[in-house]
Every structure is written in C-alpha cells, then in structure tokens.
Amino acid sequence: MSLVALGAGIAALTGIGAGVGIGIATSKAVEAIARQPEAESKISKNLILGCALAEATAIYGLVVAIMIMFFVQ
C-alpha cells in the first residue's frame, strides 16, 4: 500500500516542473515586452499557448496520480 502512495506522490510532482516552467516563461515574456512594447500582442499569444501546454503536463500528472491511487491495489 505504501508503494502505491509513493508512486502517486512521484506522479504528482509534475506540478513542480510546470510551475517552474510557467514562472520562467512569464519572466522572459515580461522582459521581452519591456524591451519591445509594440510586440506585446505576439508575445502574449505565445506566452498563453506555452502556459497552457505546461499546465496540460501538470494535469496529466495529476490524473496519473489519481489513477494510481484508486485503480492500483
């Protein structure tokens, strides 16, 4: 039973990577907008797309963790 919880915990750690990735991407986007304010719309579109992909990774990890907890006996 404890190995199931350990596996679910490791699967849930994908949220850390997503958080770090989104933080770095946001900081770089803010720097880019500060340097070229006229390119804000292009930068914002790419930032939102990148953040959505990073969040999808975290959600996949959460789903795997839940599946491990409830379906692995």
Confidence of residue 4 (pLDDT cuts 50, 70, 90): confident
pTM over 0.85? The answer is no
Distance of CA 9 to the CA centre of its chain: 16
Architecture per CATH, domain 2-71, reads as Up-down Bundle (1.20)
Alpha-carbon dihedral sign for residues 10, 15, 21, 24: negative
pLDDT at 73: 66
Residue pair 68/11 in contact by the 8 Å Cβ criterion: yes
* pLDDT tens column, 29-47: 999 999 999 999 999 999 9
pLDDT at 1: 61
In the chain, domain spans: 2-71
